[in-house]
Structure 1
Amino acid sequence: MTRVLYPAIDLLAGRAVRLRQGERQSARVYSDDPPAQARAFVANGARYLHVVDLDAAFGEKRQTALIERIA
């Protein structure tokens, strides 16, 4: 059986972050340059990325331009 890993990039205010228990205040920044992070995942063999726009999920302005730069 072949396993496929899907690296995730959660976007919040233009940065790649992780939230603790979905709490916005708990955001830990992993990258100030999400497109560079995506390129690093691809350079390390990722074929797919899971990208989440947390701003949109929280009902705020979507990060469409940033997502297009990642795609």
Structure 2
Amino acid sequence: MPHRGCVVAATVPVASGCKSGVVRRQKRDIERLLGWERFRQELNHRGFHAVENAGQVVIFCNQDAVRIIR
């Protein structure tokens, strides 16, 4: 699994953090392991983006703009 060191990607606090990549997690796992508010704070702190659909969260571990195609 890529980018396991990323706090928002792996939903467990690790000092290193990831610099780029895209990962997917179940929302319930994020809520259970990290908490939704802490997850959002970490996204904001790192300037990352995430999208949610059908209980899945896709996390973009970079600061590039995200464009929804459809």
Report which of the two structures shows the higher radius of gyration computed on alpha carbons. Answer: 1
TM score, norm. by length of structure 1:
0.31
TM score, norm. by length of structure 2:
0.32
Indicate the structure whose relative CO is greater, using CA pairs within 8 Å and at least 6 residues apart: 1
